[in-house]
Amino acid sequence: MLSDFRTKFPRVPGDVAALEGCYDELTQRAKDIGMRRPALTSAIGLASGWTGKARDAFDRSCQQEYSELTIWESGTEEAAASLLRYTKVLEAELRIIDEVRAQADELWAQYCALPDDVREAEDADYASAVAFLTFRYDKARDGIEEQAAVTAAELRAALYFTPEDIEKHSDGTETDLGDTRTLTKGEIDAIFASLSDSSKSLIELRQGRIGDCHLLASLEAYDRTPEGRAYLASLITEHKDANGVVDGFLVRFPGLNGGEPILVKEVLANGNKHKGGGIDVAAVFEMAFVKAHSGGTKSAFPHGGVSGRFATNTMEKISGQPSSFHHDFLLGKKYAQQAAIDAVRNGKPVVAEAMPDWATPNNEITVTIDGQSTKIKLAGQHVYTVVGADENGVTLANPWGKNDKPDGGDAGAVFTMSWKDFHAQFGDVSVGATPWK
């Protein structure tokens, strides 16, 4: 005898009317924002006789505000459109769920009305009907959940402003490290093409002016193996606009933002670049990571940004699983060394962080680059990817895409050093989890 199968189909929450009200409000808000731009233009025109540095500063401020109003208006319109798409999906799927619930009620009434001597013989047919209803119900519920996750990502992106992170220069000019630019269709197509082939490296780093070496070095550590590349590729899916055109990426960090997708349709203007020119998937991950932190490109402490974070925590955000941290001082040196060797041998991602400049007697060391002895200057508190390690030494890659020479020149990004020098210069080793194992 079947149990009450109506309990398999609980009511799914969702208020279509409330969402329609939110859509109307956002649409009106976008119109209101758009009406502010002509007023700003008029204000600029009223100061026609005003000249000098103060006027120049006023003009720059007005231009910036005009640009931000344009972005705000466009973002609010995008948010309204996204909410409308979700409302339509919710309405359609709730209709299916209501149909399933009504059919389940009717089916249960029919089943209960059967004579006892007939009911058992009919169990298989009723179970089959319930299975079909379950399929329809689950598909509709999953459709709501999937669209809700995408809509949440779209709303965050549409209403997102990267926090200002002003870098002042000696010549009096300024750069906002939080500035972004829109991805081109060619860049989107090229990145998706690279994600389909795990036999080739996805990234070749050239870190920009953001202090996110912990992220870039960790991404490169995962990029060192075909399994790691396939895993990184699995964290990115395409995003389509209202017309079905791919316009960006949905990026997930399993250990960040509850694993919910982050919509990326732009990259940091001053962020990571592909070493050979253009951008690669690392720039997409970088933008998603910045969007997931309230402080944007600013320092982790006290602003809550991405700069200056710990690699061991970043690896946990990438994998969604604990990473292992090994300090490299006193008795911990041999354990950190062995952890790096074992990680490389077992195909696990591993990075190392250099100590602060004040903690080392001299950060100018002789290493081997392309078979040649070369003197380089290590960067303090900088994270490097461990790309090779055995009993004889360790090979590291600098996410800058190069290393600085003491005389001011550049050397290659990948270098090999002795363990003695490593222990004198580096403070820790972090090994990331491998979710695919």
- Apex 387 CA angle, 383 and 388, nearest 5: 125
Is the confidence at residue 182, as pLDDT, over 80?
yes
State mean pLDDT over 232-256.
Answer: 95
What pLDDT score was predicted for residue 361?
Answer: 78
C-beta of residue 413 within 8 angstroms of C-beta of residue 367: no
- Cα pseudo-dihedral 97, 101, 104, 110, rounded to 10: -140
Angstrom CA distances, 97 to 16, 105, 133, 139, 236, stand at: 14, 12, 9, 9, 30
Q: Which fold has domain 324-431?
A: Cathepsin B; Chain A (3.90.70)
C-beta of residue 352 within 8 angstroms of C-beta of residue 323: no
State mean pLDDT over 1-21.
Answer: 95
| Selection from 85, 235, 56, 52 nearest residue 158 by Cα | 85
Is the confidence at residue 52, as pLDDT, over 90?
no
What pLDDT score was predicted for residue 270?
Answer: 95
What pLDDT score was predicted for residue 38?
Answer: 85
State mean pLDDT over 41-51.
Answer: 78
pLDDT digits (tens, 9 = 90+) for 122-146: 999 999 999 999 999 999 999 999 9
Least confident window among 44-58, 67-81, 205-219: 44-58
State mean pLDDT over 210-227.
Answer: 97
C-beta of residue 289 within 8 angstroms of C-beta of residue 267: no
Is the confidence at residue 422, as pLDDT, over 80?
yes
Least confident window among 48-52, 99-103, 200-204, 343-347: 48-52
Give the predicted TM-score (pTM) of the model: 0.89
> How much of the chain exceeds pLDDT 70, in percent?
100
pLDDT digits (tens, 9 = 90+) for 79-109: 999 999 999 999 999 999 999 999 999 999 9
Confidence of residue 275 (pLDDT cuts 50, 70, 90): confident
Is the confidence at residue 45, as pLDDT, over 80?
no
Domain definitions of the chain by residue range: 5-161, 180-319, 324-431
Residue 309, beta-bridge partner list? none
Q: For residue 57, what are its two tokens? A: 């500063």
Confidence of residue 173 (pLDDT cuts 50, 70, 90): confident
